[in-house]
Amino acid sequence: MSLQVQGLHAGYGRLEVLHGVDLEVGTGELVAVIGANGAGKTTLLRALSGLLKVRDGTVLVNGTDVTGKGPEKLAASGLAHVPENRLVFPTLTVADNLLLGAYTRRRRPSAERDADRERALALFPRLADRLGQAAGTLSGGEQQMLAVARGLMARPTVLMLDEPSVGLAPRLVGEIFTALGVLRDDGLTLVLIEQNARAALAIADRGYVMDRGRVVFTGVPSELLGDARVQATYLGGDFSPAGGAGDGEPRPAGGSVAMEGG
């Protein structure tokens, strides 16, 4: 088990957003976490990567308790978080963004990091042509690829991605999700937070559906896609702006009509 989360509570100020989330991710598994805007998906990732204080519950990475550690420590213990809105380092070059992705491994031999970089670039070949370019000058899709590649440079136990499809053209979403599938096939463990539920479930091994700070449903993609309650949760659910996904709302994949039939 690469990642085990039990009874996780977290929030902002007096507002509790997560009311006891349980999540298990097996080694080599790609797990999608879906749910409407405001369901607590981003909050979950922020709590897992230490950006947000865990108020209660435990987080185990490879069986080791990492609850309450800060992001700097968690990055070193194998949790890589590819944040919402990419957050590449804009004036640094693509090469330097990748270099800093391996910051926790900066004392490792450079040959090892070079090999990792080659692997990441093989996954996203268009980054290879732009190594010397400032990351801020890349297109949105390229910045997302860079953010994923930067996360990979840490050689994570679990790679966690927050809404990698936001604001991207469908073709680019396809490219990135294909890459995630390749990573899973290579044995990497992934947690994918997505509002674009259909795209996420298309590549996931299992899915969790969140609503108002709780996991309300879990299962394999075919179960989730076929379940009426799930459709209600992420398609008919609460689209309040409080969740912070901001602009670039992904379309409810395919529309609700296509989802009928469970």
Partner 1 sequence: MTDLLQLLFAGLSQGAIYALIAIGFVAIFAVSGVINLAQGEFAALAGLVAISARASGLPLPVAVVVAVATVAVVAVVMERLTIAPVKAMTTLVSLILTLGVSTALKALMLLVYGPNAEGLEAITPGIVTVAGVSIRYQDLWILLVAAVVSAAVYWFYDRTVTGKALRACAEQPVAARLVGISLGRASLISFLIAGIVGALAGVLSSPVYFTSWESGLALGLKGFVAATLGGLVSIRGAVLGGFVLGVLETLTAGYVSTGLRDAVAFLLLIVVLVVRPGGIFGRHAEARV
The first and second tokens of residue 13, run together, are 């100020």
Q: Which of 7, 68, 90, 254 binds partner 1 (CB under 8 A)?
A: 90
Reference 259, options 229, 238, 214, 239; nearest CA is 229
91 makes contact with partner 1 (CB under 8 A): yes
Cβ closest to partner 1, residue 69 vs residue 198: 69
Q: Which is nearer to partner 1, 50 or 250 (CB)?
A: 50
72 is a site residue for partner 1 (CB under 8 A): yes
- Dihedral sign for Cα atoms in the order 224, 229, 233, 237: positive
Binding mask 10-49 for partner 1 (x = CB under 8 A): ---------------------------------------x
Q: Which of residues 52 and 199 has its CB atom nearest to partner 1 in the complex?
A: 52
Q: How many CA atoms lie within 13 A of 245 on its CB side?
A: 26
- Work out the angle at residue 185's Cα, subtended by the Cα atoms of residues 234 and 135, and round it to the nearest 5 degrees: 75
Q: By CB neighbour count within 10 A (0-12 exposed, 13-18 middle, 19+ buried), where does 181 fall?
A: middle
Q: How is residue 177 written in tokens? A: 């999700």
Task: Considering only residues 120 through 159, tell me which ones interact with partner 1, judged by CB under 8 A.
Answer: 150, 154
Residues that bind partner 1 (CB under 8 A): 49-51, 70-72, 75-76, 80-81, 83, 87-92, 96, 99-101, 103-104, 106, 150, 154
